[in-house]
Amino acid sequence: MRTLSKLLAISSLALGCASAPVGRSPAANLRGDVVGAGPSVRLVVVGPADIHAYSAFAGGAIYTVPAVSGSDRYDAGVLAERMFGPQLHLLDDGFQHRALARDFDIVLVTPDDARDRLLPGGRLREPLTSLRRADAVVTISGAEARSFPLDGKVVWRARRGIVARDIPERPVAFCGIARPQGFLTQLRAAGVEPAAEAFYCDHHAYTEQDVRDLLKLRDQSEAGGFVTTEKDAINLGECVGMLQPLAVVSVRMELLEATHTLEGMLRVLAERKRGS
């Protein structure tokens, strides 16, 4: 479950609306992110099963949000309603899920998206003009609304960074994510200067040979250990114990003017429900 989905889940619950994030991966073994919505919020996932409980600690309050993952979004949503009775379903990566009706579409954009191209030449799944279908667009990493064809859309602003703790000195930084340079930029902004770097394709499933290559790179660069993302730590599977010391950085996201933003979304949802 991506950081924005978690942030929205906890923020909406704090405003009195119970939610259930619905993911598409039936085998997700998600880990806690440190996120923020005004005051700092810590989000923790417990249990390796298809249903995960999210606990948020904000301002002394404790919230629990169930997250359901499955290959069929509709069935996952039905399960969530039967077991938890949520008032709000949050779909991660659901903008192109045409088979499932949605009441509010949120799209997150970065500066790179404004310059990118459609698949297979780039990473865009749809042309930027498709943003007209969105109800709200979230800009991060310095993205400017004027760079996109938003036509008066509601724009939310957010900040995203990493929580860098206990990172070895001069580590080997490696990851298999869509834009690895962003990970390096965040590391350097946190004062971490990698001794070496290794990039893999997005969603890369690591093998023992990959681990041997990383260990060799560590020795060649005289690095003090390794640093990677939570996503990659999961994709390492049983190989994760072979890379030591290994620091796994968490993602932190802060939605600016969070209360106003979320209240606006919930108000629109309530109006559309009354009009349906």
The string of pLDDT tens digits covering residues 110-140 is 999 999 999 899 889 899 999 999 999 999 8
> CA-CA distances (angstroms) from residue 19 to 8, 11, 268?
9, 10, 16
The predicted pLDDT at position 241 comes to 93
Same domain, 12 and 110: yes
Q: How far apart are CA 142 and CA 147, in angstroms?
A: 11
Q: pLDDT at residue 201 above 80?
A: yes
Confidence of residue 52 (pLDDT cuts 50, 70, 90): very low
Same domain, 226 and 258: no
On whether the CB atoms of residues 48 and 54 are closer than 8 A, the answer is no
Averaged pLDDT, 221-237: 94
Q: How far apart are CA 45 and CA 93, in angstroms?
A: 19
Same domain, 71 and 173: no
Same domain, 34 and 100: yes
**Position of tokens 């041997």?**
212
On whether the CB atoms of residues 246 and 228 are closer than 8 A, the answer is yes
Same domain, 232 and 106: no
On whether the CB atoms of residues 202 and 119 are closer than 8 A, the answer is no
Averaged pLDDT, 71-76: 77
Q: How far apart are CA 266 and CA 270, in angstroms?
A: 6
Same domain, 89 and 28: yes
Same domain, 211 and 78: no
Residues linked to residue 58 through DSSP beta bridges, in sequence order? 61
Same domain, 128 and 217: no
Buried-exposed string 169-195: b where 16+ CB fall within 10 A, e elsewhere:
ebbbbbbbbebbebbbebbeeeebebb
The predicted pLDDT at position 81 comes to 80
**Position of tokens 């399960």?**
79
Look at the chain and report how many structural domains it folds into.
Answer: 2
Same domain, 232 and 264: no
Q: How far apart are CA 256 and CA 259, in angstroms?
A: 9
122 against 253, higher pLDDT: 122
Confidence of residue 46 (pLDDT cuts 50, 70, 90): very low
Residue 215 CB coordination number (10 Å): 15
Q: pLDDT at residue 234 above 90?
A: no
Q: How far apart are CA 258 and CA 9, in angstroms?
A: 12
On whether the CB atoms of residues 218 and 237 are closer than 8 A, the answer is no
**Position of tokens 């064809």?**
149
Q: Which two structure tokens, joined as six digits, stand for 12?
A: 């909406």
Same domain, 235 and 263: no
Q: For 125, which DSSP code?
A: S
Q: pLDDT at residue 58 above 60?
A: no
Q: Residue 185 is part of which domain span? A: 169-244
The predicted pLDDT at position 64 comes to 61
Same domain, 102 and 227: no
Averaged pLDDT, 172-196: 93
pTM, two decimals, is 0.71
Q: Which two structure tokens, joined as six digits, stand for 248?
A: 């796994």
Same domain, 15 and 85: yes
